Amino acid sequence: MDLQLTDRVAVVTGASKGIGLAITRTLLEEGAKVVAASRKVTPELAELARDGDALEHVSVDLTDPDAPAAVVARAIDRFACLDILVNNAGGPPPGATLPRFSFFDADDADWRAMFEFNLFSAVRACRAAIPAMLERGGGSIVNISTGHARQASAINVDYGAAKAAMNNFGKALAEEFGPQGIRVNTVSPGPVLTPWWTDQGGAADVLAAKLGTTREELLEGGAAQLMNLATGRLATPDEIATVVALLASPRSASTTGADFAVDSGWLKAV
């Protein structure tokens, strides 16, 4: 299927690894031009840049209030327009380690940092991107949230709260700007096999220490069993990226204000 993304201009935040890297790669493969925002360039992102001039990297800390607008401005300077915004940056703020297992594990500073990274960076990016999209006659915004936004948990309370706010924010934008041609949708992954899980000191190590098991046992099926995932495994970043690309595509012209769970069957509620 041709997703009709050739020469569309996209901004992807948190693009250096994991889901953001997969989204960047998928959009490039579909013919889009991508401005990838992250604090640093990973070898994998650098490899994508070698394949042509369709990828521009911007080194920014998205907790800086001025950073999202600077990324959008770079996209317009480089490619003259903006069609797609993927607010993927999120998860643990710089310097934080997740998971946290109790409400009392996060103080006010932790909550502020979590909302800055997971909500306010997206708010600021949308504030910068929407005027440029209106000039184009429309566009697509895809916000990457989490199943925790709908399934409350004592684990990572601050993260779930920030992403729940993002879900509401996305629906509000869809309502306001849908008549002007801008679609806004949300993708809510469950556990995904990313560096957030697999890095040394990451979620697999933290959970293994808490549960008295090993990181290998968790990654090879223990985490899926613990979370009662219907597929029996964690999702892959490419599986999230495929849904994002479809939502970014003009083929999804009547899809807006929706939240897509790509979570290995984690959420059970109707």
Domain assignments of the chain as residue spans, ordered by start:
9-192+236-262, 194-234
Least confident of 68-72, 165-169, 175-179, 201-205: 201-205
Active-site choice (79, 159, 177, 196): 159
Predicted local confidence at residue 241, as pLDDT: 98
Q: Answer whether 244's CB lies under 8 Å from 29's CB.
A: no
| Superfamily covering domain 9-192+236-262 | NAD(P)-binding Rossmann-like Domain (3.40.50.720)
Tokens of 182: 């801008």
Comparison of pLDDT for 201 and 183, the residue scoring more: 183
pLDDT tens profile 76-132: 999 999 999 999 999 999 989 889 999 999 999 999 999 999 999 999 999 999 999
Q: Answer whether 35's CB lies under 8 Å from 58's CB.
A: yes
Is the confidence at residue 243, as pLDDT, over 80?
yes
Least confident of 131-135, 208-212, 257-261: 208-212
- Say whether 192 is catalytic: no
Across 235-255, average pLDDT: 98
Rounded CA separation 215/201 (Å): 10
pLDDT tens profile 42-60: 999 999 988 789 999 999 9
What confidence category does residue 215 fall into, taking pLDDT thresholds of 50, 70 and 90? very high
Global pTM exceeds 0.85: yes
Share of the chain above pLDDT 70, in %: 100
Predicted local confidence at residue 78, as pLDDT: 97
Predicted local confidence at residue 202, as pLDDT: 87
